[in-house]
Structure formats: structure tokens, C-alpha cells
Amino acid sequence: MNNRIQSILGVLAVAATSISMVAADKNSTPAYLDESLPMEQRIEDALSRMTLDEKIAMIHAQSKFSTPGCPRLGIPELWMSDGPHGVRMEIAWDEWDHAGWSNDYCTALPALTCLAATFNPDLAYEYGNTVGREARFRKKDMMLGPGVNIYRTPLSGRNFEYMGEDPYLSSVMVVPYIKGLQSNGVAACMKHFALNNQENERESINVEVGDRALNEIYLPAFKAGVEAGVWAVMGSYNKFRGTFCTHNDTLVNKILKGDWGFDGVFVTDWGSCHNTFEAAMNGLDLEMGSWTNGLSWGVSSAYDNYYMAEPLKAMVKTGEVPETVVDDKVRRILRLNFRTNMNRHRPYGALHAPEHLDVARRVASEGIVLLKNEKAKLPIRPGKFKRIAVIGDNATKKLSIGGGSSELKPKVEISPLEGLMEVYGDAVAYSMGYASGIADYSHEEPSPYDADSLRMAAVELARNSDVVVFIGGLNKNYKQDCEGGDRLSYDLPYDQNRLIDELIAANSNTVIVLTSGNAVAMPWLDKAPAIIQSWYNGSMGGVALADVISGAVNPSGKLPFTIAQRLEDYAAHSSDERTYPGVDGNVHYDEGVFIGYRWAEAKNIKPTFAFGHGLSYTDFAYSSLKADKKEYSPEDIIRLNITVKNTGHADGAETVQFYVGQSHPRVARPVKELKAFCKPYIKQGESTTCTVEIPASSLAYYNEDNKQWVLDNDEFTIFAASASDDIRQSISIKINNNLIALK
């Protein structure tokens, strides 16, 4: 009897069993299918009906992006998709090739660095909701995002997928994203837990970091997501203190599931599992993978060889792993089923709707950061110039492509050149300037163009134009902003610095637009009159950039990371290879809590542009910063009011940032740390009162000796700022208590 006949007979046998069960009890609905019953009761009922084989099948993959469910009980497959910025194109069942569908497009949202730069939690909800609606329409049950790893080094290839260097900003922005996405009955899968702060040797690097930095810098955004009710969390490839994070008892059992009470599914990154017993006992719930043995080898369609498949079943049968351990994993997956594909009340979703394009456009335009604008070179009003030279490969490059697993297949992606031509028409002339080749996940494709010819043609165009808009930066090529490899240099690639110097020499009226998810060196800073930090801005990126350059939108983005003058000005690069990229497989976070602006301020390092920096086409004046009291106990909320007036000549939004510094700390603390922000939109000549609340407990530090949060009895200064280096107002308050441990 051949395998096909055996398979058919097996299916018929299961069907016959199911029919007999229904016939025996045709008037009753199994408890697990009764949505009127409490979810936990339904979970226990379903679990009680499952065989060991069915349980094991549920906790590992059946294809690149799905798990099998339990067909006998009518529990559906779980389908997942990459893409924190949109729903990725379909991938083949057991290969990494694109499936080649014609209807697997999406709306490409701007990268998460752009979302963070908006400092707008309301937009974060709309962003997450848009991704969730499109995922639901595409019949996905889980989206693999958002990412909340911290920007530690500007070389990290995946920083564009994250929300910058500050744990408070990341925490505030990730919560509405998760809620918006999950409102569609699609799970968010927050990633990568934890300490995946470099792509170099990501599959094996061991991170050594102190408990204080872990709790104050690298875990807060994850904790915020769990408290917001995220339904899934993804482990990271790297190790933490010698054990892979995907089956790390400290991170998963003690912190995630223990201290934080996470009730969702903890899933591998693809191929990040390395040991059956550790995976079983240290909290891993679901194994997905690129290969059948971690990341080292692969066999086609060998999902039963996964660590959490036949090897785990064998351990259960011998008693080495209790079946109750498997039961806990299945409970969590069933809970995910009931929240997603077994929820009959979830909405249907929508794909590439006009409102989705509107969200993409607003996120992009609010996230674009005006870094410099000497002599008001910007905005460039339509009709002001007869000839506008647009120069640079990124003006035409499709930047939703490439970058690794966050690649997208947008139905529409309007390039910067297209957006500018729509506004300025025949005044626009284009020259490539430099060539960056084709974006590829694993290597960099060489360009067929002659670099000298491209540069000379661009400079000639600049010389004969009224104004130049250079659109360059990084892209999603391998070892730039791309998964799987870090940047090799802090400088711009493709000899762009030379090109920029020659463009400015040919035409002093030159605007520099940098498209990237990372900071870059700017040796031409003093010569460039206007600089814009743009991002990978998705479907409507070209429209949004044209909106800002033309003045149709007043820029309001703020930097979510520090742009340093030199690579050595970042803490991770301030000493030797021990702190980056690591030595003998270990990387040491010797800087502790001092990263980004915290490091720069502690070491009196002047950045090129500070965290939180971002200019406007108008001006804002701050006044009357007040707190509701002078002294607070640890249980209190500090309520602050400040008046902000638009003193310029255009309507606009301003992000008021509130930092707090301690006067006489018992341990080394940053000069100040972001603890709140607000973003009012104010018409020219008008003013508004901005109100924020800061829990006094959030001023505590983590004491490594007693493993507790401690709030000192001390004086604290609250700074109201337009950027971390632009303080406008300050007041002092007191915390009135002795050393007290906080939960």
C-alpha cells in the first residue's frame, strides 16, 4: 500500500471518529467551542481531549510560517507573517523563495524609527491598527513585530526596525501599536527578547550586561508591551550570560513569565532553538525555524526533527520531561487560538485602503526630522525656482525592498523623485549621482555604472540649477540597514561624502536629505545649509518628503537617537572590541546605563545632533513650568503644566520633552533621563498649556545589590526641553522618604 493511500485512509479514520463522537452527543457543544464560557475553562477542555502526539504537533512549525493546530478538534492552523512595517509577501511552504502570488501586496508603513520620531502615541495606535487590518485581510493570525531592541550602536543593521535609544520613548510608543494591531484579532509578537543589539555574530554572541542596565535600559519596553497585553513574544538569537535567550531560564521563566506574568506564547526566532531539554524546561512554547538544527543545517520538510518535536516527545515518554510541561505550552497556544482565529467576533480587515495610505503619509511626514536650516533655505515653495536639481540614487530607489525579513511588496510606493515632480513639475531635473546596486539579504550586488561619470554629471547639473536637493544616505543593502550584518563604517557608502562636497562647491544652495535607519558621519556638516533626516518611509514616502520640503507640512519629527560626530563618541565604540563587536564570542556592555544621550552628557561629548532634536518652520517659546506640589512620596504622581506659544509665522507641532535628573544620587546616574513628553499642535501666534504626569516611582534606579528598585530621598530637577541639549525651563522637586524598595 503506497503512502498516498495510507494517508487517505488515515484521514477517513479521523473523520469517522469525529462523526461518531458527534452522533454520540449531537445535542451538546464541546466546552472549548462555547464562546460563552470563560476562556480558561475552554482551554482546559480542549487540552483534556488531546493526545500527546497532537500536543507535540501544536508546539512546532509545519511550514516556514505556520503551525498545524489540531485538525481532529477543529482547532485551526496558526499563520504568521513577517513585517513590523506591513504584511510581508507570501513565502513558499518550505523554502525562503517568494511564493509568486499576485495578491500578496500591502501598504508599506514607514519603518519604526520614523514612527518613534513622531513622538505621537496616537499615530502609533493608527499604525498598529493599519498593520492589523491588512494582516487580518491576508488571513494572518500573528504579526512578527513590533521590535523594541535598544539602539546601542549606529552600526547595528537592524536599528531601522526599532524605536531608538531611549527605553521610555520605546515603551510609550510600543503600547498603542500593540493595542491597535490586536484590536483586529491578530497577535502582535514583540521582539527580540532580549539584548539583540547587534547583527554581527547575532546567532552566537554572548551578551554580558549588569542587572541595572538590563532593567533600566534593555527591558522596559518589553515590560510595557507585556503590561499592555501583548499576545506573543519572540526570543532572540544571541546568548545572555552564557545561555541562548530563546531558552534562558532567567529571561523567560523568571522575568517574562514569572515577574511580569506574561500569559501569551513565547516563540523562537526562526532557528534560534538549540537544545530540547532547555527549550522544554526554560519556557519556550513554540519552535519555528529556518533549519532543523538551530541555524547549522537543514533538511527539507523535516519539521518532526525540530527540538520541540520528536526529540521532546521521546523525553516525555521516558519521563525526563513531565507532560505537564508540554501542557503549559499547549495552553498558551490554545489561548492564542481563542484570541485570534477561533474568535468569531474579530473584524474582517481591509487591504490597501485609502485610509491606510493616509496613515502611512501622516506617519512619514510627522517623522521626518529637520536637522538644520540656515538662512531658511527650506521650505522651497512651488514656483520659487526655475530649475531644481534632484540628485541621488535614493531619490528613485524602492526602499521597501531588501533589509531582510522586513521586506515588503507594496502595491504603491511613491519615490521621492515622483513626489517632488508632483509638486514642482517641469522644474525638476534628475541625476543619479551615485549607484548603490540591488538590495540583497546576504551580499551586496555590484553596480554596473561608472561612479566618476555619475558624479560628474550630477555636479554639472547642480552647477546649472537654482537649488539642489540631494537624496542619499543608507539603504537596505547587506551590511547597511539590513538584517544579518552590521555596517562596516560610520561613513556614508558609495563615496557620497565626496559627491556632497562637490555638489555644495558647485551650488551653495544645496539641501541634503539623508534616508536611513541609523546615524551617519557628516564631515560636510558646516558647509551644508539645510539637512533633513528622512527614513524608510514606505508607500507614501515620496509624497511626505515633498510635503515637508515644499512647506505643505511643517516638520515636527524629533530624533529618536543621538547622531554623534564620530563613531568613537558612542559608548559601545569608546574603548576596544570587548564592548563591540565582542571578543571570543562575548560582548560586554561595560557602559551600563550610559548609552546615547546619557553617555554623551556624562562624558561632555558634543553630538552632531542630540537625541530629541528637530527643527520647525516656526518657533516656540516655553514659559510657566509648574508642578502641582513641591514634595512627593513614592506613591504620588507628579503633575506638570507648561505653556507653549507659537511665536513664528506658521502653524506647527512641538514635542515638549520632560527630563529628570537627581541632585545627589547614591549611585552613578545619568545627568537626566526622559520621563514624559507631549506634542501639542499650535496655530501661529497662539499658545496652549501642555500637561503631563510622571509617577514618582519612575525616578527610581535598580539596585543591583538587593535586586530592587530604590527611590532616594533627594532633590530632583525637572527639565522642559525642545531636545536633550536644548533646555527651556526647569524646576526642582523633592522626594520625601528614606530609602524604600519599590515593586
Positions annotated as catalytic residues are 269
* Residue 738, Cβ density class (10 Å: 0-12 exposed, 13-18 middle, ≥19 buried): exposed
The CB-side HSE value for 569 (13 A sphere, CA atoms) comes to 20
The CA distance from 152 to 195, in Å, is: 10
The CA distance from 607 to 587, in Å, is: 25
Q: Burial letters for 232-250: b for 16+ Cβ neighbours within 10 Å, e otherwise?
A: bbbbbbbbbeebbbbbbeb
- Three-state SS at 138: coil
Beta strands 701-703 and 652-653 are unpaired
Q: What is the DSSP string of 9-57?
A: HHHHHHHHHHHHHHHHTTT---GGG-TTS-HHHHHHHHHHT--HHHHHH
Q: Which residue, among 342, 502, 353, 499, has the nearest Cα to 433 in the 3D structure?
A: 499
Looking at the DSSP bridge assignments, the partners of residue 100 are: none
The CA distance from 583 to 572, in Å, is: 13
Q: Which residue has the cell 543621538?
A: 562
CB 169 within 8 A of CB 116: yes
Give first-to-last CA distance, the chain, whole Å: 64
Count of helix runs (H) and strand runs (E) in the chain? 17, 29
CB 373 within 8 A of CB 412: no
Task: Describe the crossing of helices 323-339 and 310-318 by its angle, rounded to 10 degrees.
Answer: 130
Beta strands 656-662 and 673-678 are antiparallel
CB 143 within 8 A of CB 186: yes
CB 539 within 8 A of CB 513: no
Amino acid found at 106: C
Looking at the DSSP bridge assignments, the partners of residue 322 are: none
CB 107 within 8 A of CB 411: yes
Looking at the DSSP bridge assignments, the partners of residue 98 are: 91
CB 487 within 8 A of CB 443: no
